[in-house]
Amino acid sequence: MNLTPADSTLSAAPNSRATPDRPVTKNADPALKSDPTAGQNASVASVTHLNNKLAEYLTPSEMKKVKEAYRFSDERHLGQIRKSGEPYISHPIAVAEICADWKLDAQAIMAALLHDVMEDTDVKKDELIERFGAPVATLVDGLSKLDKIEFQSQIEAQAENFRKMLLAMARDVRVILVKLADRLHNMRTLGFMIPEKKRRIARETMEVYVPIAHRLGLNNIYRELQDLAFAHLYPLRYKTLSKAVKAARGNRREVVSKIMESVKNTLAATGIQAQVYGREKTLYGIYRKMRNKHLSFSQVLDVYGFRIVVDSFANCYVALGTLHALYKPMPGKFKDYIAIPKLNGYQSLHTTLIGPYGTPVEFQIRTQEMHRVAEAGVAAHWLYKDEEASLTDLQQRTHAWLQSLLDIQKQTGDSAEFLEHVKVDLFPDSVYVFTPKSTIIALPRGATVLDFAYTIHTDIGDQAIAARINHEQAALRTELRNGDIVEIITAPASRPSPNWLTFVRTGKARSAIRHHLRTINLAESTELGKRLLAQALTTLQIDPVLPDTMLEKLLNESSAKSLDELYADIGVGKRMATLVARHIRGLMESDPNSPQPPAIEKSSGKLDPVAINGNEGVSVQLAACCQPIPGDSIIGQLKRDQGIVVHATDCDVAKRQHAKEPDRWIELVWDTELTRRFDCRIKVLVDNEKGVLARVAAEIGESDANITYVGMDDDRDQMMKQLRFTVQVEDRVHLARLMRNVRRIRGVARILRERT
């Protein structure tokens, strides 16, 4: 059953409206800009091409449903044109064609044809449910942007759109397959966009869609999107590199032919049935290697590689041995992704050999089944339905990752934070470690022990206190390496610390820690937020006790669900007390019935100092770099999800960070009533003689201070030694008394307070 255009005048309607977000096709005839008939003819050709692809695997009844979706989309987009002058329907047809290449089912093809009708026309989800069924309508809804909602910024709108799409993907992976097809066609046809828009779309593609394609194992899409984004982000670099590759292609043709012939003959002599393909690195892959390793193009020797597809698992390793006998392998350049597949299910043996004329050549060895998964990833589920059993592991990996998106969503406060966590998890390089029971866990490069703990289970992460790596004690911040055997040590009373956010790597760990800090410590954060807002209002000469009507207005104009949530957001640094106070002042000035605040005499609107005592819990953290104690002049940094971090005013770290974000700092003072002791580091230079450490430690104890850490240098040949202590003191006066007492000890040459 053939698909035919619903209207012969769809590219030349008088009321046509251009759609700037929908660029022209890359290979479109220039005449399309002025000849609507040419655009329509191209559309008809595309419909015929799509029809032929679908007829290969869809049933007649499914074809009928697809035809209905096409006609509906064609009617709704009637009069809309792309920048090229093509009828807009050419874009949904092209997206459906890409999906047909993966042999996606009829529902996904229908969603591809309808993917813009909710966004660009007045069609509602209920109408799609009625005409095409709930599954198709849900797919289209997951692909549609939130255009009808007003956001405070473009960044917030973009983040919320991504969150909607990724959560829809977590429930049905077909959403992201159709979205990637949509993005691929838009990237292929980006030529008619203005330069600024090209760069924005290309950057978004490189940051989000390229990693998603890689994470799902869609390597063909991944490579093409990467190169297209590179071409639009850095057009001059792309053109220069493209010319260099074309020139090198001719120079190296003889080498490539010689290697190809040698490999084929050697494998055949060994009795291995194999297909050998020459393979060229992508332009972006070459550019990235040049940039990361600071190489010129002439220094990137492995521009070409070879892929060997054999008939069995065992022959992968036989072929590897055969190649190593033919050419010498480069040390450290062998990777076995068959024994330990990548996160996205990719399996191959990688080895780099020294070919003729001393040229390094990379070989990838895999079976036909591995090759299918490597190229199509999760889409192989539709491409090769007769071999579903072989893809079980890949499907399980994908399902686990998609489920983690839902877990992160449950623990995340806003869209920008959600997107931040997801971007972290899309990091392509991985490190593989083992549980004590030899289960392989894949983590992003740079992941720590704590990331491992949260990957196992959120409760294990929350209660972690230390670990054993390869049976040796290790701290939670220890970075993991390939092959490590990791065992987590937990304590039921242990709870997450805000400091953990400074070294965890995975999105799941970050979202779980932030969720805990928001919920478990809600009372502390709420109380601190109240104090900060009261201080800010007092500075603006506004009574901190606001009338109920004003509080109701404030909540209506913020995303907070309650007053306590608003206070908590201020307490953990998600909202600035000064900005909230100024917003309240604006509301009062715009309401004639509200008591008007007096004119502000302080031109800076500077906050009065906030008093702290160090017992506020996780809402107030003392900075590890300078370890302030009572008596020090202090200043506070409002850090997102960490509350206030207290620094000494003369701290070098604080000075650098204050210069970057001056609006996130407030003045602090010590409370008059202090009931705890504070850590402080001291360094003591002593004669290298017997008993000196014992004398210094005893004097610190006599001075009513507790020692929590002691260390010294290991050079026994030195005449002097440096002793380092972390001691707990009441305040600066107590510290001064302790230092005077230690300075009197025989053998002590110098003592000073140590700061980073």
The residues assigned a catalytic role are 119-120
* CA 708/CA 305 separation, integer angstroms: 57
H runs (alpha helix) in 412-506? 415-425, 449-456, 458-462
* C-beta separation of 678 from 729 below 8 A: yes
Residue at token pair 């809804």:
141
Report which secondary-structure segment, H or E, holds 45: helix 36-55
Query: b/e per residue, 382-411, with b = 16+ CB within 10 A?
Result: bbbeeeeeebeebeebbeebbebbebbbeb
Cα–Cα distance measured from residue 277 to residue 366, given in angstroms and rounded to the nearest whole number: 12
| Tokens, residue 728 | 């707990």
3-state DSSP assignment of residue 676: coil
* Spatial CA neighbour of 509 closest among 572, 458, 573, 574: 458
Residue for token digits 């090209």?
Answer: 198
Burial of 711 (0-12, 13-18, 19+ CB in 10 A): exposed
- Give the CB-side neighbour count of residue 453, counting CA atoms within 13 A: 30
Residue 138, token pair as written in the block = 């849900």
- Residue 31 to residue 722: CA distance in whole angstroms: 81
Alpha-carbon span 443 to 344, nearest angstrom: 12
Distance between CA atoms of residues 364 and 308, nearest Å: 6
8 A C-beta contact, residue 135 and residue 118: no
341/442 Cα distance (integer angstroms): 9
Angle at CA of residue 508, ends 503 and 513, nearest 5°? 60
For residue 351, list its beta bridge partners: 334, 363
Query: Position 744: which residue type?
Result: R
Q: Which residue reads 């104690």 in tokens? A: 629
Closest CA to 210 of 223, 200, 197: 223
The strand ranges marked E within 392-513 are 430-434, 440-444, 464-469, 472-474, 486-490
Q: Do 377 and 385 meet the contact criterion of CB atoms below 8 Å apart?
A: no
